[in-house]
Structure 1
Amino acid sequence: MAERMGFFTDTSVCIGCKACEVACKEWNDVPDDGFVFRATSYDNTGALGADTWRHVAFIEQSRVVRRQEEPPGPGERAGEPADGQEGIEGWLMSSDVCKHCTHAACLDVCPTGALFRTEFGTVVVQADVCNGCGYCVPACPYGVIDRRERDGRAFKCTMCYDRQLGGLEPACAKACPTDSIQFGPLDELRARAEERVERLRGEGRPQARLYGASPEDGVGGDGAFFLLLDEPEVYGLPPDPVVTTRDLPAMWRWAAGAALSLAGAVAVSFLSTRRGR
Protein backbone atom coordinates (compact mmCIF):
# COMPACT_ATOMS: atom_id res chain seq x y z
CA MET A 1 0.00 0.00 0.00
CA ALA A 2 1.43 3.37 -1.02
CA GLU A 3 1.38 6.42 1.22
CA ARG A 4 -2.11 7.92 1.44
CA MET A 5 -2.39 10.99 -0.76
CA GLY A 6 -4.90 13.80 -0.58
CA PHE A 7 -6.01 17.35 -1.32
CA PHE A 8 -5.80 20.36 0.99
CA THR A 9 -7.91 23.18 -0.42
CA ASP A 10 -7.10 26.54 1.17
CA THR A 11 -10.14 28.67 0.36
CA SER A 12 -8.48 31.78 1.79
CA VAL A 13 -6.36 32.13 -1.37
CA CYS A 14 -8.89 30.88 -3.95
CA ILE A 15 -9.59 33.61 -6.53
CA GLY A 16 -12.48 31.85 -8.29
CA CYS A 17 -10.67 31.56 -11.62
CA LYS A 18 -12.07 28.06 -12.24
CA ALA A 19 -8.79 26.92 -13.80
CA CYS A 20 -9.15 23.73 -11.75
CA GLU A 21 -12.56 23.02 -13.31
CA VAL A 22 -11.18 23.46 -16.81
CA ALA A 23 -8.07 21.36 -16.15
CA CYS A 24 -10.19 18.57 -14.65
CA LYS A 25 -12.49 18.48 -17.66
CA GLU A 26 -9.66 18.56 -20.15
CA TRP A 27 -7.56 15.83 -18.56
CA ASN A 28 -10.44 13.48 -17.67
CA ASP A 29 -12.49 14.19 -20.80
CA VAL A 30 -15.46 15.25 -18.65
CA PRO A 31 -18.39 16.47 -20.81
CA ASP A 32 -19.67 20.03 -20.90
CA ASP A 33 -22.37 20.53 -18.27
CA GLY A 34 -24.15 23.57 -19.68
CA PHE A 35 -22.57 26.62 -18.06
CA VAL A 36 -25.94 28.23 -17.45
CA PHE A 37 -25.90 31.64 -15.79
CA ARG A 38 -27.83 31.53 -12.52
CA ALA A 39 -29.69 34.68 -11.54
CA THR A 40 -28.83 34.13 -7.86
CA SER A 41 -25.05 33.88 -8.31
CA TYR A 42 -22.16 34.59 -10.64
CA ASP A 43 -21.31 30.89 -10.42
CA ASN A 44 -21.90 29.33 -13.83
CA THR A 45 -21.66 25.63 -12.96
CA GLY A 46 -23.72 25.38 -9.78
CA ALA A 47 -22.65 22.17 -8.04
CA LEU A 48 -20.64 18.97 -8.22
CA GLY A 49 -22.10 16.23 -10.38
CA ALA A 50 -21.34 13.49 -12.86
CA ASP A 51 -20.10 16.11 -15.34
CA THR A 52 -18.51 18.47 -12.79
CA TRP A 53 -15.80 16.79 -10.70
CA ARG A 54 -14.32 20.07 -9.46
CA HIS A 55 -16.65 22.96 -8.71
CA VAL A 56 -15.58 26.43 -7.64
CA ALA A 57 -18.39 27.72 -5.45
CA PHE A 58 -19.03 31.46 -5.42
CA ILE A 59 -20.54 32.53 -2.10
CA GLU A 60 -21.67 36.13 -2.41
CA GLN A 61 -22.01 37.71 1.02
CA SER A 62 -24.76 40.29 0.83
CA ARG A 63 -25.34 43.49 2.76
CA VAL A 64 -28.15 46.03 2.88
CA VAL A 65 -27.02 49.39 1.54
CA ARG A 66 -27.81 52.33 3.81
CA ARG A 67 -27.24 55.64 2.04
CA GLN A 68 -29.24 58.39 0.42
CA GLU A 69 -30.11 58.26 -3.27
CA GLU A 70 -27.88 60.89 -4.85
CA PRO A 71 -25.44 61.13 -7.74
CA PRO A 72 -22.29 59.05 -7.22
CA GLY A 73 -19.64 60.93 -5.29
CA PRO A 74 -15.86 60.52 -5.45
CA GLY A 75 -14.95 56.86 -5.21
CA GLU A 76 -18.54 55.67 -5.80
CA ARG A 77 -19.74 53.87 -8.89
CA ALA A 78 -22.87 54.51 -10.84
CA GLY A 79 -25.29 51.59 -10.74
CA GLU A 80 -24.63 50.62 -7.12
CA PRO A 81 -27.71 49.48 -5.13
CA ALA A 82 -29.90 52.24 -3.75
CA ASP A 83 -30.57 52.72 -0.05
CA GLY A 84 -32.32 49.66 1.44
CA GLN A 85 -31.38 47.34 -1.38
CA GLU A 86 -29.00 44.40 -1.11
CA GLY A 87 -25.49 44.59 -2.46
CA ILE A 88 -22.46 42.28 -2.32
CA GLU A 89 -20.27 42.89 0.70
CA GLY A 90 -17.68 40.23 0.01
CA TRP A 91 -16.92 36.93 -1.66
CA LEU A 92 -15.99 33.50 -0.43
CA MET A 93 -14.52 31.09 -3.00
CA SER A 94 -14.06 27.38 -2.56
CA SER A 95 -13.05 24.69 -5.03
CA ASP A 96 -15.16 21.73 -3.95
CA VAL A 97 -14.43 18.10 -4.84
CA CYS A 98 -15.14 14.51 -3.78
CA LYS A 99 -13.90 14.06 -0.21
CA HIS A 100 -12.45 10.53 -0.69
CA CYS A 101 -13.73 9.58 2.78
CA THR A 102 -11.78 7.29 5.08
CA HIS A 103 -15.02 5.38 5.72
CA ALA A 104 -16.76 5.66 2.36
CA ALA A 105 -20.42 4.66 2.33
CA CYS A 106 -20.43 4.54 -1.48
CA LEU A 107 -18.00 1.60 -1.27
CA ASP A 108 -20.27 -0.20 1.18
CA VAL A 109 -23.35 -0.14 -1.06
CA CYS A 110 -21.83 -0.75 -4.51
CA PRO A 111 -23.00 -4.24 -5.60
CA THR A 112 -20.65 -4.66 -8.56
CA GLY A 113 -17.27 -3.54 -7.21
CA ALA A 114 -17.29 -0.58 -9.59
CA LEU A 115 -16.17 1.57 -6.67
CA PHE A 116 -12.82 0.63 -5.18
CA ARG A 117 -10.13 2.11 -2.95
CA THR A 118 -6.79 2.63 -4.64
CA GLU A 119 -3.34 2.07 -3.21
CA PHE A 120 -3.22 5.84 -2.60
CA GLY A 121 -6.27 5.71 -0.31
CA THR A 122 -8.56 7.40 -2.83
CA VAL A 123 -11.98 6.17 -3.97
CA VAL A 124 -12.48 5.63 -7.71
CA VAL A 125 -15.41 4.56 -9.92
CA GLN A 126 -14.73 2.11 -12.73
CA ALA A 127 -17.21 3.28 -15.34
CA ASP A 128 -16.95 0.04 -17.32
CA VAL A 129 -18.06 -1.97 -14.26
CA CYS A 130 -20.82 0.38 -13.04
CA ASN A 131 -24.31 -0.97 -13.77
CA GLY A 132 -26.08 2.32 -13.03
CA CYS A 133 -27.97 1.06 -9.96
CA GLY A 134 -27.51 4.43 -8.25
CA TYR A 135 -27.11 3.05 -4.71
CA CYS A 136 -23.98 5.16 -4.24
CA VAL A 137 -25.79 8.45 -4.90
CA PRO A 138 -27.89 8.63 -1.69
CA ALA A 139 -25.11 6.90 0.28
CA CYS A 140 -22.71 9.84 -0.13
CA PRO A 141 -23.03 12.17 2.90
CA TYR A 142 -21.76 15.10 0.82
CA GLY A 143 -24.01 14.68 -2.22
CA VAL A 144 -20.97 14.41 -4.48
CA ILE A 145 -21.45 11.31 -6.61
CA ASP A 146 -24.07 11.41 -9.35
CA ARG A 147 -25.17 9.56 -12.49
CA ARG A 148 -25.10 10.78 -16.07
CA GLU A 149 -28.51 11.02 -17.67
CA ARG A 150 -27.18 9.64 -20.97
CA ASP A 151 -26.38 6.15 -19.67
CA GLY A 152 -27.10 6.14 -15.91
CA ARG A 153 -23.54 5.34 -14.84
CA ALA A 154 -22.00 7.05 -11.81
CA PHE A 155 -19.02 9.41 -12.08
CA LYS A 156 -16.96 11.55 -9.73
CA CYS A 157 -13.43 12.79 -9.05
CA THR A 158 -10.74 10.11 -9.22
CA MET A 159 -8.03 12.42 -7.83
CA CYS A 160 -6.46 11.76 -11.23
CA TYR A 161 -5.58 8.17 -10.39
CA ASP A 162 -3.91 7.72 -13.77
CA ARG A 163 -1.66 10.72 -13.18
CA GLN A 164 -0.73 9.49 -9.69
CA LEU A 165 0.30 6.15 -11.16
CA GLY A 166 2.69 8.10 -13.37
CA GLY A 167 4.09 10.13 -10.46
CA LEU A 168 2.20 13.31 -11.46
CA GLU A 169 -0.02 15.55 -9.34
CA PRO A 170 -3.72 15.82 -10.25
CA ALA A 171 -4.60 18.23 -13.06
CA CYS A 172 -6.58 20.62 -10.83
CA ALA A 173 -3.68 21.12 -8.39
CA LYS A 174 -1.25 21.52 -11.28
CA ALA A 175 -3.41 24.26 -12.84
CA CYS A 176 -4.21 26.22 -9.66
CA PRO A 177 -2.35 29.57 -9.92
CA THR A 178 -2.50 30.42 -6.20
CA ASP A 179 -1.76 27.00 -4.66
CA SER A 180 -5.25 27.03 -3.18
CA ILE A 181 -5.37 23.32 -4.14
CA GLN A 182 -2.42 21.45 -2.64
CA PHE A 183 -1.72 17.78 -3.28
CA GLY A 184 0.55 15.45 -1.37
CA PRO A 185 0.84 12.92 1.48
CA LEU A 186 -2.22 13.39 3.66
CA ASP A 187 -0.37 13.59 6.98
CA GLU A 188 1.92 16.30 5.64
CA LEU A 189 -1.04 18.27 4.30
CA ARG A 190 -2.82 18.11 7.66
CA ALA A 191 0.24 19.46 9.48
CA ARG A 192 0.63 22.22 6.91
CA ALA A 193 -3.05 23.11 7.19
CA GLU A 194 -2.87 23.41 10.99
CA GLU A 195 0.01 25.87 10.63
CA ARG A 196 -1.94 27.86 8.05
CA VAL A 197 -4.96 28.14 10.32
CA GLU A 198 -2.82 29.39 13.21
CA ARG A 199 -1.20 31.95 10.93
CA LEU A 200 -4.55 33.26 9.70
CA ARG A 201 -5.92 33.51 13.21
CA GLY A 202 -2.81 35.41 14.25
CA GLU A 203 -3.46 37.81 11.36
CA GLY A 204 -6.93 38.59 12.67
CA ARG A 205 -9.01 35.89 10.93
CA PRO A 206 -10.46 34.04 13.97
CA GLN A 207 -13.10 32.36 11.82
CA ALA A 208 -10.49 30.27 9.97
CA ARG A 209 -11.06 26.54 10.55
CA LEU A 210 -10.37 23.16 9.01
CA TYR A 211 -13.13 20.97 7.62
CA GLY A 212 -12.70 17.25 7.07
CA ALA A 213 -9.15 17.09 8.43
CA SER A 214 -9.84 15.27 11.71
CA PRO A 215 -9.77 11.44 11.76
CA GLU A 216 -12.22 11.74 14.66
CA ASP A 217 -15.09 13.14 12.58
CA GLY A 218 -18.11 11.17 11.38
CA VAL A 219 -16.40 9.72 8.30
CA GLY A 220 -12.98 9.11 9.81
CA GLY A 221 -11.50 12.15 8.14
CA ASP A 222 -11.48 13.10 4.47
CA GLY A 223 -8.81 12.54 1.87
CA ALA A 224 -9.78 15.97 0.52
CA PHE A 225 -10.20 18.56 3.26
CA PHE A 226 -10.60 22.33 3.39
CA LEU A 227 -9.64 25.50 5.19
CA LEU A 228 -12.82 27.55 5.52
CA LEU A 229 -13.40 31.17 6.52
CA ASP A 230 -16.96 30.65 7.74
CA GLU A 231 -19.33 27.93 8.92
CA PRO A 232 -19.48 24.81 6.69
CA GLU A 233 -23.15 25.46 5.93
CA VAL A 234 -22.22 28.74 4.24
CA TYR A 235 -20.23 26.70 1.72
CA GLY A 236 -23.03 24.16 1.28
CA LEU A 237 -21.20 21.53 3.34
CA PRO A 238 -22.86 19.39 6.04
CA PRO A 239 -21.66 20.49 9.50
CA ASP A 240 -21.47 16.96 10.91
CA PRO A 241 -21.17 14.39 8.10
CA VAL A 242 -21.58 10.74 9.06
CA VAL A 243 -21.13 7.42 7.31
CA THR A 244 -24.64 6.78 6.03
CA THR A 245 -24.09 3.00 6.22
CA ARG A 246 -22.91 3.03 9.84
CA ASP A 247 -26.02 1.14 11.02
CA LEU A 248 -25.88 -1.52 8.31
CA PRO A 249 -24.07 -4.19 10.39
CA ALA A 250 -26.64 -3.91 13.19
CA MET A 251 -29.46 -3.96 10.66
CA TRP A 252 -28.10 -7.10 9.00
CA ARG A 253 -27.69 -8.79 12.38
CA TRP A 254 -31.26 -7.87 13.29
CA ALA A 255 -32.53 -9.12 9.92
CA ALA A 256 -30.60 -12.39 10.29
CA GLY A 257 -31.99 -12.89 13.80
CA ALA A 258 -35.51 -12.17 12.61
CA ALA A 259 -35.10 -14.61 9.72
CA LEU A 260 -33.83 -17.37 12.03
CA SER A 261 -36.70 -16.76 14.46
CA LEU A 262 -39.19 -16.93 11.61
CA ALA A 263 -37.60 -20.10 10.25
CA GLY A 264 -37.74 -21.64 13.73
CA ALA A 265 -41.39 -20.74 14.14
CA VAL A 266 -42.22 -22.25 10.76
CA ALA A 267 -40.31 -25.44 11.63
CA VAL A 268 -42.11 -25.81 14.99
CA SER A 269 -45.46 -25.22 13.33
CA PHE A 270 -44.67 -27.81 10.64
CA LEU A 271 -43.58 -30.44 13.19
CA SER A 272 -46.65 -29.77 15.34
CA THR A 273 -48.88 -30.22 12.31
CA ARG A 274 -47.24 -33.53 11.41
CA ARG A 275 -47.56 -34.87 14.95
CA GLY A 276 -51.22 -33.98 15.03
CA ARG A 277 -51.98 -36.19 12.06
Structure 2
Amino acid sequence: MANAMLIDTSKCTACRGCQVACKQWNDLPAEETHNWGSYQNPQHLSATTWKLVTFNEEGAGDDFRWLFLPTQCLHCTDASCVSVCPTGAAYHHGEFVLIDQSQCIGCGYCVEACPFGVPHSMPGPNGRHKSTVRKCTFCIDRISSGLMPACAKTCPAGAYKVGERSELIAAGKARVERLKTKGDTNAYLYGENELGGLHVMLVLRDRPLLYGLPEQPRVATKNVLGQWLSGLLTAGAIAALPFWLLTKRKNELAASKGGK
Protein backbone atom coordinates (compact mmCIF):
# COMPACT_ATOMS: atom_id res chain seq x y z
CA MET A 1 0.00 0.00 0.00
CA ALA A 2 1.30 3.46 -0.90
CA ASN A 3 2.33 5.48 2.12
CA ALA A 4 3.07 8.97 0.79
CA MET A 5 2.34 11.56 -1.87
CA LEU A 6 4.56 14.02 -3.72
CA ILE A 7 3.02 17.15 -5.23
CA ASP A 8 5.15 19.03 -7.74
CA THR A 9 3.79 22.57 -7.52
CA SER A 10 5.84 23.63 -10.54
CA LYS A 11 3.56 21.46 -12.67
CA CYS A 12 0.30 22.64 -11.11
CA THR A 13 -1.85 24.66 -13.53
CA ALA A 14 -4.47 25.56 -10.90
CA CYS A 15 -7.19 23.81 -12.87
CA ARG A 16 -8.66 22.74 -9.50
CA GLY A 17 -9.57 19.31 -10.79
CA CYS A 18 -8.13 17.87 -7.57
CA GLN A 19 -10.30 20.20 -5.52
CA VAL A 20 -13.45 19.09 -7.32
CA ALA A 21 -12.49 15.39 -7.20
CA CYS A 22 -12.02 15.59 -3.43
CA LYS A 23 -15.48 17.11 -3.04
CA GLN A 24 -17.04 14.47 -5.27
CA TRP A 25 -15.39 11.40 -3.78
CA ASN A 26 -15.97 12.45 -0.16
CA ASP A 27 -19.50 13.70 -0.82
CA LEU A 28 -18.67 17.17 0.52
CA PRO A 29 -21.24 19.92 -0.08
CA ALA A 30 -20.46 23.09 -1.98
CA GLU A 31 -19.87 26.27 0.01
CA GLU A 32 -21.45 29.66 -0.45
CA THR A 33 -18.54 31.89 -1.43
CA HIS A 34 -17.89 35.48 -2.42
CA ASN A 35 -15.35 37.43 -4.47
CA TRP A 36 -12.63 38.45 -2.02
CA GLY A 37 -10.17 39.73 -4.63
CA SER A 38 -8.49 36.51 -5.71
CA TYR A 39 -9.08 33.64 -8.13
CA GLN A 40 -8.69 31.36 -5.10
CA ASN A 41 -12.08 30.02 -4.15
CA PRO A 42 -13.09 29.41 -1.44
CA GLN A 43 -10.70 31.48 0.61
CA HIS A 44 -9.70 28.79 3.13
CA LEU A 45 -9.89 25.11 3.88
CA SER A 46 -12.95 24.20 5.92
CA ALA A 47 -14.87 21.26 7.35
CA THR A 48 -16.40 20.77 3.90
CA THR A 49 -13.39 21.76 1.77
CA TRP A 50 -10.52 19.37 2.41
CA LYS A 51 -8.55 20.26 -0.71
CA LEU A 52 -7.87 23.79 -1.92
CA VAL A 53 -5.59 25.19 -4.61
CA THR A 54 -4.15 28.45 -3.29
CA PHE A 55 -3.22 31.28 -5.67
CA ASN A 56 -0.13 32.92 -4.19
CA GLU A 57 1.01 36.14 -5.87
CA GLU A 58 4.71 36.97 -5.92
CA GLY A 59 6.54 39.90 -7.45
CA ALA A 60 5.13 42.82 -9.44
CA GLY A 61 5.10 44.15 -12.99
CA ASP A 62 7.20 42.08 -15.37
CA ASP A 63 8.43 40.03 -12.40
CA PHE A 64 4.95 38.95 -11.30
CA ARG A 65 4.26 35.23 -11.10
CA TRP A 66 1.77 32.81 -9.64
CA LEU A 67 2.86 30.20 -7.13
CA PHE A 68 0.07 27.63 -7.06
CA LEU A 69 -0.20 25.24 -4.13
CA PRO A 70 -2.67 22.35 -3.78
CA THR A 71 -3.21 22.34 0.00
CA GLN A 72 -4.62 19.62 2.24
CA CYS A 73 -3.64 17.74 5.40
CA LEU A 74 0.07 16.93 5.12
CA HIS A 75 -0.19 13.87 7.39
CA CYS A 76 2.69 14.70 9.72
CA THR A 77 4.73 12.06 11.52
CA ASP A 78 4.91 14.34 14.57
CA ALA A 79 1.31 15.53 14.31
CA SER A 80 0.21 18.34 16.61
CA CYS A 81 -3.44 17.30 16.30
CA VAL A 82 -2.61 13.84 17.64
CA SER A 83 -0.46 15.28 20.44
CA VAL A 84 -3.13 17.60 21.83
CA CYS A 85 -6.29 15.53 21.31
CA PRO A 86 -7.67 14.71 24.79
CA THR A 87 -9.80 11.76 23.67
CA GLY A 88 -7.56 10.01 21.16
CA ALA A 89 -9.93 10.90 18.33
CA ALA A 90 -7.00 12.15 16.24
CA TYR A 91 -4.70 9.20 15.66
CA HIS A 92 -2.19 7.65 13.28
CA HIS A 93 -3.47 4.92 11.00
CA GLY A 94 -0.13 3.73 9.73
CA GLU A 95 1.45 6.79 8.14
CA PHE A 96 -1.80 8.74 7.87
CA VAL A 97 -3.55 10.97 10.40
CA LEU A 98 -7.26 10.30 10.81
CA ILE A 99 -10.03 11.53 13.12
CA ASP A 100 -12.45 9.09 14.71
CA GLN A 101 -15.76 10.95 14.55
CA SER A 102 -17.25 8.76 17.29
CA GLN A 103 -14.52 9.88 19.72
CA CYS A 104 -14.31 13.56 18.72
CA ILE A 105 -15.87 15.90 21.31
CA GLY A 106 -15.43 19.04 19.21
CA CYS A 107 -13.08 20.73 21.68
CA GLY A 108 -11.15 22.35 18.83
CA TYR A 109 -7.71 21.78 20.35
CA CYS A 110 -6.46 20.28 17.08
CA VAL A 111 -7.85 23.23 15.15
CA GLU A 112 -5.69 25.61 17.17
CA ALA A 113 -2.62 23.36 17.28
CA CYS A 114 -2.18 22.56 13.57
CA PRO A 115 0.61 24.73 12.09
CA PHE A 116 -1.00 24.43 8.65
CA GLY A 117 -4.56 25.41 9.58
CA VAL A 118 -6.00 22.14 8.29
CA PRO A 119 -8.61 20.76 10.73
CA HIS A 120 -11.93 22.62 10.99
CA SER A 121 -14.99 22.13 13.16
CA MET A 122 -18.35 21.24 11.68
CA PRO A 123 -21.45 22.07 13.77
CA GLY A 124 -23.87 19.24 14.41
CA PRO A 125 -27.23 19.04 12.60
CA ASN A 126 -29.30 22.18 13.20
CA GLY A 127 -26.71 23.25 15.76
CA ARG A 128 -28.28 20.89 18.29
CA HIS A 129 -25.51 18.34 18.49
CA LYS A 130 -21.82 18.56 19.25
CA SER A 131 -19.38 19.85 16.66
CA THR A 132 -16.84 17.45 15.23
CA VAL A 133 -13.62 18.08 13.32
CA ARG A 134 -13.16 17.14 9.67
CA LYS A 135 -10.18 17.06 7.32
CA CYS A 136 -8.47 15.14 4.50
CA THR A 137 -8.23 11.38 5.10
CA PHE A 138 -5.70 10.67 2.30
CA CYS A 139 -8.62 8.76 0.75
CA ILE A 140 -7.80 5.87 3.09
CA ASP A 141 -10.74 3.93 1.65
CA ARG A 142 -9.22 4.16 -1.83
CA ILE A 143 -5.62 3.58 -0.72
CA SER A 144 -6.54 0.42 1.22
CA SER A 145 -8.14 -0.91 -1.98
CA GLY A 146 -5.05 -0.23 -4.07
CA LEU A 147 -6.39 2.96 -5.65
CA MET A 148 -4.84 6.42 -5.79
CA PRO A 149 -6.35 9.29 -3.79
CA ALA A 150 -9.04 11.05 -5.80
CA CYS A 151 -7.02 14.26 -6.13
CA ALA A 152 -3.95 12.47 -7.50
CA LYS A 153 -6.00 10.31 -9.87
CA THR A 154 -7.67 13.37 -11.38
CA CYS A 155 -4.66 15.66 -11.98
CA PRO A 156 -4.22 16.19 -15.75
CA ALA A 157 -0.81 17.85 -15.39
CA GLY A 158 1.02 15.00 -13.69
CA ALA A 159 1.74 17.07 -10.59
CA TYR A 160 1.01 14.16 -8.23
CA LYS A 161 2.94 11.00 -7.47
CA VAL A 162 1.85 8.38 -4.95
CA GLY A 163 4.05 5.58 -3.66
CA GLU A 164 6.74 4.65 -1.16
CA ARG A 165 7.99 7.66 0.75
CA SER A 166 11.70 6.92 0.25
CA GLU A 167 11.22 6.70 -3.51
CA LEU A 168 9.22 9.93 -3.57
CA ILE A 169 11.93 11.74 -1.61
CA ALA A 170 14.47 10.70 -4.24
CA ALA A 171 12.14 11.84 -7.02
CA GLY A 172 11.46 15.12 -5.23
CA LYS A 173 15.15 15.87 -4.76
CA ALA A 174 15.85 15.14 -8.41
CA ARG A 175 13.05 17.48 -9.45
CA VAL A 176 14.38 20.23 -7.17
CA GLU A 177 17.81 19.99 -8.77
CA ARG A 178 16.21 20.14 -12.21
CA LEU A 179 14.27 23.28 -11.26
CA LYS A 180 17.44 24.93 -9.97
CA THR A 181 19.13 24.43 -13.34
CA LYS A 182 16.11 26.10 -14.97
CA GLY A 183 16.40 29.23 -12.82
CA ASP A 184 14.37 28.42 -9.70
CA THR A 185 17.41 28.72 -7.45
CA ASN A 186 15.36 28.55 -4.24
CA ALA A 187 13.54 25.36 -5.21
CA TYR A 188 12.97 23.15 -2.18
CA LEU A 189 11.52 19.79 -1.16
CA TYR A 190 9.14 20.56 1.68
CA GLY A 191 8.32 17.71 4.04
CA GLU A 192 11.37 15.47 3.96
CA ASN A 193 12.29 16.39 7.53
CA GLU A 194 9.64 18.85 8.74
CA LEU A 195 7.69 17.56 11.77
CA GLY A 196 9.42 14.21 11.67
CA GLY A 197 8.63 13.88 7.98
CA LEU A 198 5.42 14.66 6.14
CA HIS A 199 3.55 12.04 4.13
CA VAL A 200 2.36 14.67 1.70
CA MET A 201 5.55 16.31 0.42
CA LEU A 202 5.78 19.34 -1.82
CA VAL A 203 8.23 20.38 -4.52
CA LEU A 204 8.30 24.18 -4.23
CA ARG A 205 9.77 26.62 -6.73
CA ASP A 206 10.66 29.09 -4.00
CA ARG A 207 10.75 29.61 -0.23
CA PRO A 208 7.89 28.06 1.79
CA LEU A 209 6.76 31.43 3.15
CA LEU A 210 5.84 32.57 -0.36
CA TYR A 211 3.33 29.71 -0.43
CA GLY A 212 1.94 30.55 3.00
CA LEU A 213 3.79 27.64 4.63
CA PRO A 214 5.77 27.88 7.88
CA GLU A 215 9.48 27.44 7.20
CA GLN A 216 10.10 25.74 10.55
CA PRO A 217 6.80 24.24 11.72
CA ARG A 218 6.77 23.04 15.31
CA VAL A 219 4.73 20.33 16.91
CA ALA A 220 2.36 21.50 19.63
CA THR A 221 2.05 19.61 22.91
CA LYS A 222 -0.62 19.55 25.59
CA ASN A 223 1.64 21.80 27.66
CA VAL A 224 1.85 24.37 24.84
CA LEU A 225 -1.90 24.21 24.39
CA GLY A 226 -2.38 24.71 28.12
CA GLN A 227 -0.28 27.86 27.92
CA TRP A 228 -2.39 29.08 24.98
CA LEU A 229 -5.63 28.47 26.88
CA SER A 230 -4.20 30.17 29.96
CA GLY A 231 -3.30 33.20 27.85
CA LEU A 232 -6.78 33.21 26.36
CA LEU A 233 -8.39 33.17 29.81
CA THR A 234 -6.05 35.93 30.98
CA ALA A 235 -6.92 38.06 27.97
CA GLY A 236 -10.60 37.51 28.70
CA ALA A 237 -10.15 38.58 32.30
CA ILE A 238 -8.31 41.74 31.25
CA ALA A 239 -11.01 42.57 28.72
CA ALA A 240 -13.69 42.14 31.39
CA LEU A 241 -11.90 44.34 33.96
CA PRO A 242 -13.30 47.72 32.76
CA PHE A 243 -16.85 46.36 32.89
CA TRP A 244 -16.30 45.03 36.41
CA LEU A 245 -14.93 48.40 37.56
CA LEU A 246 -17.87 50.24 35.99
CA THR A 247 -20.37 47.94 37.66
CA LYS A 248 -18.55 48.27 40.98
CA ARG A 249 -18.66 52.07 40.74
CA LYS A 250 -22.37 52.07 39.90
CA ASN A 251 -23.07 49.89 42.93
CA GLU A 252 -21.07 52.22 45.17
CA LEU A 253 -23.00 55.27 43.92
CA ALA A 254 -26.31 53.50 44.39
CA ALA A 255 -25.34 52.54 47.93
CA SER A 256 -24.29 56.11 48.82
CA LYS A 257 -27.58 57.53 47.51
CA GLY A 258 -29.53 54.96 49.45
CA GLY A 259 -27.67 55.94 52.63
CA LYS A 260 -28.71 59.56 52.23
What is the RMSD computed on CA atoms of the aligned residues?
2.0
Q: Which moved more, 1:100-109 or 1:18-27?
A: 100-109
> Is 2:12 aligned against 1:14?
yes
SS in 2 for 1:190: helix
Structure 2 stretches of 5 or more lacking a match? 125-129, 228-260
Q: Pick from 149, 157, 160 the counterpart of residue 170 of structure 1.
A: 149
Which residue of structure 1 lines up, in the alignment, with residue 246 of structure 2?
none
Deviation sequence 1:160-194 (CA, Å, 0-9, x none): 01111111110000001112122111111111101
CA distance in 1, matches of 2:213, 2:173: 20
Deviation of 1:203 after TM superposition, in Å, equals 2.2
Which residue of structure 2 lines up, in the alignment, with residue 223 of structure 1?
199
TM-score, normalized by length of structure 1?
A: 0.74
TM-score, normalized by length of structure 2?
A: 0.79
Deviation of 1:4 after TM superposition, in Å, equals 6.5
Q: Pick from 139, 143, 148 the counterpart of residue 160 of structure 1.
A: 139
Deviation of 1:205 after TM superposition, in Å, equals 2.0
Deviation of 1:19 after TM superposition, in Å, equals 0.4
Deviation of 1:36 after TM superposition, in Å, equals 2.4
CA distance in 2, matches of 1:174, 1:236: 25
> Is 2:113 aligned against 1:134?
no
Q: What pairs up with 1:112-123 in 2 under 5 angstroms?
A: 112-119=87-94, 121-123=95-97
Which residue of structure 2 lines up, in the alignment, with residue 143 of structure 1?
117
SS in 1 for 2:6: strand
> Is 2:228 aligned against 1:233?
no
Q: What pairs up with 1:183-262 in 2 under 5 angstroms?
A: 183-214=162-193, 217=194, 219-245=195-221
Give the counterpart letter for 1:116 in structure 2: Y
Percent identity for Structure 1 against Structure 2 = 42
CA distance in 1, matches of 2:213, 2:113: 15
The structure with the largest alpha-carbon Rg is 1
Structure 1 stretches of 5 or more lacking a match? 66-87, 252-277
Distance 1:212 1:162, change over 3 A: same
Which residue of structure 2 lines up, in the alignment, with residue 107 of structure 1?
82
Q: Pick from 39, 42, 46 the counterpart of residue 42 of structure 1.
A: 39
- Is this contact kept in 2: 1:37–1:43, CA < 8 A? no
